[in-house]
Every structure is written in structure tokens, then in C-alpha cells.
Amino acid sequence: MTGDLYDRVAGRTLRELLAEHPVAADFFVNYNLQNLRDDLPLAEALDYADENTLIDFGLDKTTVLDQLVLFLQTVVEEKQTAAVQEITILGGRTKSGDAEEFTLSIKPGEIVSIVGPTGSGKSRLLADIECLAQRDTQTLRQVLVNGRTLEDEERFAMDGRLVAQLSQNMNFVMDLSVGEFLEMHAKSRLHPDPEKVAAECFAAANDLAGEKFTSQTKVTQLSGGQSRALMIADTACMSASPIVLIDEIENAGVDRRQAIRMLTKNEKIVLISTHDPLLALMAGKRLVIKNGGVHKIIETTPEERESLAKIEMLDNTLQSIRNRLRTGGRITPDTI
């Protein structure tokens, strides 16, 4: 496999190489070699390059070729993500050292909410999942993937790719338009058709956002609700991570139910730490955290699901009051 790739890289002109692997352009930029002649194979093209450029990077003509092969191998590997059919969380101990007795398996498309007072240990549970704890964190919990325990090497190899995170504190920091931003993400995922997937993701984000935005809008200029909508749509459509950990979704400007549906439709395992009744009840199960441990696991009953509709009506009422105030209206007891 490696030999094949080596021969292919060595034997082709740069133009052919770039046509097959557009991402290779990044490699040449990284080494200040973007102006190489593209009608020649790499080794010959380097004869026309400034030797100082290579020396600055501690390279010579042979090592550039090796590095390019390694580069392509890495980014191609990056495409593959571990297939997760199930994660299982095994209880450890609470803050006071008592046994935490529970076992919970979650499959793609399932939602589990995590509820409990501030400081009760919700974030710690998310952290245990993120590092795939093997009875070696403070909580002594264990997380199995596809029913298996994991060796340290396997955990390290995940490189944080298993878990995508969404939280209230997150912002966009790039100075790009929404369209450019999505295409950049799609390209980094080596998507065969970055423009198409970016467009889908853009449409999905606008579905979730209360106030619509264009693909020319700068990501840094989006409102809180629009940012959250774009982050959720992007995580659902583009992120490779099979597990999504959500630390609350703000209740203004985002269709939360639609957001959760979008994530589960894309076969993600979703865990939401929340104080929001709507989100808590949308999950099939909710974990109640107390004193650093899982105190109860409650399955959402049909009755609760029915109540969900009522809670949503309450929520809509609040939303309409908010909108009325926003647009300069007055509130009377009748509005409510």
C-alpha cells in the first residue's frame, strides 16, 4: 500500500498528482513550495526550486518526497473514523466513595439527557466519556466501545476524534463567511463534493435558526442563536465524530427539537447535559446526577412525552412574548 502510493507520487507530474489529491496543495504551501513547475514529477520539479527553502525546513530532495507520501497517508487515514455501534458506561463511585451501581448502553440515534444541580458532576460524566475512562479517572467509571474495554494505545489513537462537543461558551473565531467556513470544514474532511455538502449544511442551519442568514454573512457576525444553529447543523452534517456531547442549547433563536432530531437522524450518539425541561424530556432516558454519581436512570414515559407537547406550548408562549417585546409591542394578560 505504502509502496504503491510512493510509486504513484514519484511517477506523476505534480499537475496529475494535484488533480487526484487536491489536498496535496496544502503540503506545498506548508513548505513554501507552491511555485514548483507542475508539468514535472516532484523530484525533477525540485531541481528548479530554491535549495535554501528546503534547507530551512531541514529537508532535501529525497526527504521531501518521503514527507509528501507520509502527508498523503495521514490525511487519507484521517478520513476513517472508528465505527461505533454502542457505548456502555459502567458505574464507578460517588464523591463520598459509595459504589455507583449502573450500566448504561447507548446506540447511534439515541439521546440521553443528564440532569442534576450545578456542581453535581454532570461535566465529569461527559469528561469520562470523552477520555473513554477505564476505571482510571477519579470516578472509577469505565466506558466500553462496542462492548470492549480499550487499551491505552487505542484510547490515544482516537485523538479526540470520537467525541464532538457543543457548548454555550463556544464561538466562531475565524474571519470567514458562512459559505467559506463550511467549505473549509468539508475540505478538511476530504469530502468528494465540498460545495454540495456545504450547501446542505447551510440549508440545515437555516432550518434551525429563528432568524435566517445568508452564506455571505461572516460567521463572527452571526447572532447567538444563528451561531448555535450553524454549529449544530455542522456537527450533524459534517463532523466525523460518532458521539456528540452537548452542554446545554440556549433556548433563544434555535429550534431545539429540530436540532436534536437532526443529530439523531445522522446516527449520532447524543448526550445532553441540561436544565431545560424540553431537552431533558426529548431524550429516551435521563440520568439524574447527585453527589458525583448517577443517582437514577429514568426512562421517559409516554405520559411525559405527552407533557412535552404542553411544555412546548408554554415555551412558544414565552417565545411570542419575547418577540412582542422585541418588536415594540405591549403585553396584556390576554397575550398570555
The rounded distance, in Å, linking the Cα atoms of 116 and 123 is 11
Tell me the window of 71-79, 263-271, 303-311, 315-323 that interacts with another protein (CB under 8 A).
71-79
Residue 278: other Cβ atoms inside 10 A: 17
- Per DSSP, the residues of 194-262 read HHHHHHHHHHHHHHHBSS---TTSBGGGS-HHHHHHHHHHHHHHT---SEEEEE---SSSB-HHHHHHH
Q: Judged by CB under 8 A, which of 10, 40, 75, 104 binds another protein?
A: 75
Tell me the window of 7-15, 86-94, 157-165, 262-270 that interacts with another protein (CB under 8 A).
157-165
Using CB under 8 A as the binding rule, whether residue 2 contacts another protein is answered as no
Residue 10: other Cβ atoms inside 10 A: 14
Place of cell 479526540: 160
Closer of 45 and 243 to another protein (Cβ):
243
Write out the binding residues for another protein, residues 263-302 only, by CB under 8 A.
Answer: none
77: phi then psi, degrees, rounded to nearest 5 = -60, -35
Angle subtended at Cα 70 by Cα 65 and Cα 76, rounded to the nearest 5 degrees: 125
Using CB under 8 A as the binding rule, whether residue 173 contacts another protein is answered as yes
Place of cell 460518532: 242
Tell me the window of 72-80, 208-216, 298-306, 321-329 that interacts with another protein (CB under 8 A).
72-80
Beta-strand pair 142-145/111-115: unpaired
Closer of 23 and 311 to another protein (Cβ):
23
Count the residues of the shown chain that bind another protein, applying the rule CB under 8 A.
51
Residue 185: other Cβ atoms inside 10 A: 18
What character string, x for contact with another protein (CB under 8 A) and - otherwise, covers 181-220?
A: xx-xx--xx-------------------------------
Element of type H or E holding 290: strand 285-290
Q: Judged by CB under 8 A, which of 5, 36, 131, 144 binds another protein?
A: 131
Using CB under 8 A as the binding rule, whether residue 239 contacts another protein is answered as yes
Element of type H or E holding 14: helix 14-20
Using CB under 8 A as the binding rule, whether residue 42 contacts another protein is answered as no
Question: Which residues share a beta bridge with 134?
Answer: 142
Closer of 39 and 175 to another protein (Cβ):
175
Using CB under 8 A as the binding rule, whether residue 118 contacts another protein is answered as no
- Find out whether 264 and 281 touch, Cβ atoms under 8 Å: no
Q: Judged by CB under 8 A, which of 12, 61, 95, 155 binds another protein?
A: 155
* Cell numbers for 234: 455542522
Using CB under 8 A as the binding rule, whether residue 44 contacts another protein is answered as no
Tell me the window of 141-149, 238-246, 262-270, 297-305 that interacts with another protein (CB under 8 A).
238-246
Q: What's the closest the beta carbon of residue 3 comes to another protein, in angstroms?
A: 18
The rounded distance, in Å, linking the Cα atoms of 41 and 168 is 49
DSSP helix/strand/coil, 168: coil
Tell me the window of 10-18, 235-243, 275-283, 318-326 that interacts with another protein (CB under 8 A).
235-243
> Which residues contact another protein (rule: CB under 8 A)?
26-27, 29-30, 52, 57-58, 70-71, 73-75, 78, 123, 127, 130-131, 136-138, 152, 155-156, 159-161, 164-167, 169-174, 181-182, 184-185, 188-189, 227, 230-231, 234-235, 238-241
